[in-house]
Structure 1
């Protein structure tokens, strides 16, 4: 009886070892490199022109960009997240129903941005330049705003856009 139990135990051990060996072989693509599963890639959103923003200095228009418009909570929460590239001639316009001190952050945003805070009178209240990608730190305006324009970092400096200038859209 002992020898039958021993044979049975060896058979079970063999099956276990062969099963483990099969798993190891299946886990390596070329015998040396482990096969890993990665999360599905998030598709890079494509720019969708929904309007234009013109920057105005001393009553004179001087720079125009194409914009996507974030006019509801879901669009505002997503903003420019998950973009790997943003052309210099485009941005995003956030439109809020009421003026407030809306704070922004750079979570899931891989490109540095200039964030232009605009009051209800469409005058630029403040600008957060060259924001840090992926930062969860709150970026606050220096006053009440109803509109926000996000553009590539360096855009405001390159185009001499300053607090006190205005926008139209």
Structure 2
């Protein structure tokens, strides 16, 4: 009989201590949340692009990063914190067709220039809103898409019919 009382005491003591240990660990885990810091994506100059204005023969020179792989086309300027005024991203597609872009995970407001196979600007989407997932169509066949900081298309006085060259 006294053996059963000791076994019950030991059992309840272990049960109590085990419960305390479990509760303590559950609450301490919530306080130890790890913050995962995203790696900063920096601009990588892969070429130079010139915009040729038809109206006054002005040329605008830009350093460009080129998106010509499926991964680059899917991510574009997503997750970037900023981009210099003289920098841009040029998307180069294999075919010329109507394009649809959106601003998912894109922190920088942009002007999007749609450019045909002849390297002539055919349409714009200006002052796009960061993180907006609405479709931004080209409304005309495009082989190239150039993304620059929002407001620059107006600042530079760009128009449909202006052209680009790049290397």
In which range does the TM-score fall when normalised by the shorter chain?
A: 0.7 to 0.9
Q: What's the CA shift string for 1:25-81, capped at 9, x where partnerless?
A: 7447xxxxx33123x222121111111111111272421110001112221111111
Cα distance, 1:103 vs structure 2 = 0.9
Q: SS where residue 98 of structure 1 aligns?
A: strand
- For 1:135-154, list aligned pairs within 5 A: 135-154=132-151
More strand by share: 2
Picking from 56, 60, 66, the partner of 2:57 is 60
Give the structure 1 partner of residue 111 of structure 2. 114
Q: Which stretch of structure 1 is more off in the superposition, 117-126 or 70-79?
A: 70-79
1:46 partnered with 2:48: no
CA distance in 1, matches of 2:38, 2:10: 51
1:123 partnered with 2:125: no
* Equivalent residues, number: 163
1:160 partnered with 2:157: yes
Say whether the 8 Å CA contact 1:54–1:61 is kept in structure 2: no
Give the structure 2 partner of residue 93 of structure 1. 90
CA distance in 2, matches of 1:73, 1:21: 48
Give the structure 2 partner of residue 6 of structure 1. 8
1:132 partnered with 2:129: yes
TM-score by length of 1: 0.87
Picking from 22, 25, 33, the partner of 1:23 is 25
Give the structure 2 partner of residue 76 of structure 1. 73
Q: SS where residue 102 of structure 1 aligns?
A: strand
Q: SS where residue 74 of structure 1 aligns?
A: helix
Give the structure 2 partner of residue 31 of structure 1. none
Q: SS where residue 21 of structure 2 aligns?
A: helix
Cα distance, 1:24 vs structure 2 = 5.7
Cα distance, 1:131 vs structure 2 = 0.9
After superposition, the CA RMSD in angstroms is: 1.9
